[in-house]
Amino acid sequence: MHPLLDNILWNSLKYDHAHFSSGTEHARRYARGFSPILGFADPKQPDFAAIAAYCDPGEHFYCADWAGAMPAGWQLDAEATMFRMVYTGAMPLQDMAPDAVPLTAEHAEQALALAQLTNPGPFGLRTIELGDYFGYFENGKLIAMAGERMHAGTLREVSGVCTHPDHQGRGYARRLIDKLLRRQLQRGQLPFLHVMSGNHSAHALYLRMGFIDHHEPVVRVVSLQS
């Protein structure tokens, strides 16, 4: 139904985000400073040898859609599953977050700090350059954000959704997601997102909002050994 989505990490890194990535015809990564993600032309038989020269020992990367044995020289640091979800709902009738602030380079350090505190997924200092990011501030401090990460064809990922623990329960995340959905649908894009399988509350929220499960791939954190 959505063939690009089946190997979205590779399709984003190889095509629409090629200028943000480095690697070979068999394996690519987001460049240093962006989200630490690996993509492989064949995710069932990932060519780790092809990407090793572009990685630093001890650097941690996320990869998905593969559960085979670790190749020599690489270490498995964590493993779980996640839902890859596609939006099937209607376009929000209005911008639900008109007061949200567009995030720019001046907000990069605050965005990274919030992501490190709340762990919405792989995030780097330059991740907000991958798409449109919006946030809410209180007393000059970023307290909630959401934005766009992977991009392949008409597929556009909603990502980096997080709220500071002291400000949860106020609807910031949902309003920001609705804002992104409206913008993406107006561009003729198909929104999708990832959520960890164990995050039951977020998964339930996305189902209520109109997302459906595309599939539930394995996600791993790996690192190149010294």
Neighbours of 205 (CB within 10 A): 16
**Placement of tokens 């009738």 in the chain:** 93
Q: What angle do CA 153, 34, 16 make, to 5 degrees?
A: 15
Can you give the pLDDT of all 226 residues of the chain as single tens digits?
688 999 999 999 999 999 999 999 999 999 999 999 999 999 999 999 999 999 999 999 999 999 999 999 999 999 999 999 999 999 999 999 999 999 999 999 999 999 999 999 999 999 999 999 999 999 999 999 999 999 999 999 999 999 999 999 999 999 999 999 999 999 999 999 999 999 999 999 999 999 999 999 999 999 999 8
Q: Are residues 30 and 126 in the same domain?
A: no
Q: Which domain holds residue 38?
A: 3-82+218-224
Helix, strand, coil share of the chain (percent; to 5)? 30, 35, 35
Q: Are residues 52 and 111 in the same domain?
A: no
At 34, phi and psi to the nearest 5? -95, -170
Question: In this structure, what DSSP letter does residue 119 have?
Answer: -
Provide the domain count of the chain.
2
Q: Give the CATH number for residue 164.
A: 3.40.630.30
